[in-house]
Structure 1
Amino acid sequence: MAQRALPLPAARLGRAVLTAGAAPEVSGVVLLLPDGESDSRRRPSALSYAVRLPFARSLARAGQEDGLAVHVVRYRTRGWNADADPAADARWAADEVVRRYGDVPVCLVGHGMGGRAALRGAGHTAVSSVLSMAPWLPDGTEPEPEPVKHLAGRRVLIVHGTNDARTDPELSYRLAERAKKANRDTCRFEVHSDGHALRQHRAEVAALASDFVRGSLFGRPYARPVADAFAAPPPLGLRMPLAAGFGRSLRH
């Protein structure tokens, strides 16, 4: 008897990450999109969700006075696959935010494969900004280039470690060059000597992310490095180094 393929499980939003003292009403939402694999129909591991929670908490703490809610998206599968499954899950998650919270701005924040899903899902009408960290991108062997026209009207920040051995930082630079032509509100930070996980400068990356989220979702003034990056013409605005001590400067 032929075996029938089991249906994919539905995508889900993890429980909202909130902190003590958070505003009672949600005014903006971050959807965190985890890393994954290029091809896999297996269900995502619990670890892929758990590893994003510390970062989710740091964003929630930074935005607690603004009414920020952070959700980690649980994909249907752990692979990108032929149908760009995580990008579809990101769009579903944005729909779910609208259903739960109403007309609030959404920032898609992704890492690795999730970084690509964030860029792909940015065309959703609720999405106002995208933070793509160490994105996994096509290497030019695919028949069509990664789309960028739908990024128009969004704030787009790409962050990539220069020593990333898993996803090529040169590919994110090339995508940023193309995206900048469709959307001037695109910038890219290089984290010198850091790898794929961006652990070496974790505090600075977290501070950069928090600053971008609060500025993009709630109109808070950007810190000087972020403001300068958006204002700088290419290619300078696409190869901005992450300044040492960025995290400390934000706390003053």
Structure 2
Amino acid sequence: MTGARLVPVRTPRDAEGVVVVLHGGASRGERTMVSPTQLSVLRMVPVAWRIARAGRSRLAVHRLLNSHRGWDAQTTPVMDLAWALDRVVEQHGDVPVALVGHSLGGRAALLGGDAPQVRSVVALNPWVLPTDRVDLTGRQVMVVHGTDDRIALPSRSADLSRRLGRDASVGYVPVPGARHAMLRHGRTFETYAAEFVAATLLGVPPTSHAVAAVLEGAAHVEG
């Protein structure tokens, strides 16, 4: 049984789609519990609210709090995500889902994005490994990565994007000068995530060039 929690941000009665927002956070000792006030969790709150506003009361938005910090073989964030997607079906029925994750949450969104109800994935500064493999055929994927990230290497996420792009629609968007925590360029990350989700779940046209280019099939876009 997981200790994960699903926190509602906006839950309209007849949601046309659901967005699950995934936080990052490195390990702080063996199976350290996730705190709602840890920075890796808090930095996803404005992202979730921006998505909720873009959803125009047509999207349900939930934040997933993982069962514990970090990533290990016993209970990974992908397992927590699978639990959350079951709860989404219970609450909202068979509606399309988008995943938006940062850092390890971005990795979880990508590796868990093969779930049948997932239509689109946004990975923000994802911390990924060269050995990561997943088939995202039929999904629309956008990876957004700060060029000055020294924690999650942009070269790794760019390489994974190229590999995923062999089977899925994947666009990679660098954010010049942005670092891992998304502080100085937070509005850019929020905007890209919200516009991509609104477009892929609701058909709302994006206003930013980068998101429009990804939706048109560009594999690499200058932000």
2:125 corresponds, among 134, 153, 172, to: 134
Q: 1:101: which partner in 2?
A: 92
TM-score (norm 1): 0.81
Detail structure 1 runs of 4+ shifted over 6 Å in the superposition.
none
Q: 1:148: which partner in 2?
A: 134
| Contact 1:36–1:80, Cα closer than 8 Å, also in 2 | no
Q: Residue 9 of structure 1: CA displacement? A: 5.1
- Name the amino acid aligned to 2:18: V
Alignment of 1:34-183 (within 5 A): 34-37=23-26, 40-48=30-38, 49-65=41-57, 67-83=58-74, 85-138=76-129, 140=130, 145-149=131-135, 151-183=136-168
- Name the amino acid aligned to 2:143: I
Greater helix content = 1
Q: Distance in 2 between matches of 1:222 and 1:134?
A: 21
> Secondary structure at 1:93's aligned position in 2?
helix
Q: Residue 174 of structure 1: CA displacement? A: 0.4
Q: 1:241: which partner in 2?
A: 222
With over 3 angstroms needed to count, the CA separation of the structure-2 counterparts of 1:225 and 1:93, relative to structure 1, is: same
Farther off after superposition, 152-161 or 29-38: 29-38
Deviations 1:41-84 (A, max 9, x none): 1111222433322221111111124x111111011111211246
- Name the amino acid aligned to 1:13: L
TM-score (norm 2): 0.90
Pairs aligned (count): 219
Q: Distance in 2 between matches of 1:40 and 1:165?
A: 24
**CA RMSD of the aligned region, Å?**
1.9
- Check if 1:216 corresponds to 2:200: yes
Q: Distance in 1 between matches of 2:155 and 2:202?
A: 31
Q: Residue 11 of structure 1: CA displacement? A: 1.5
Q: Distance in 2 between matches of 1:24 and 1:93?
A: 19
Greater relative CO (CA pairs within 8 A, separation 6+): 2
- Name the amino acid aligned to 1:241: E
Q: Residue 232 of structure 1: CA displacement? A: 4.8
Deviations 1:130-162 (A, max 9, x none): 000101112x4xxxx21132x111110000000
Q: Residue 222 of structure 1: CA displacement? A: 3.5
With over 3 angstroms needed to count, the CA separation of the structure-2 counterparts of 1:83 and 1:222, relative to structure 1, is: farther
Q: Distance in 1 between matches of 2:153 and 2:141?
A: 19
Q: Residue 25 of structure 1: CA displacement? A: 2.0
Unmatched runs of 5 consecutive residues or more in structure 2: none
Q: Distance in 2 between matches of 1:215 and 1:201?
A: 22
> Secondary structure at 1:153's aligned position in 2?
coil
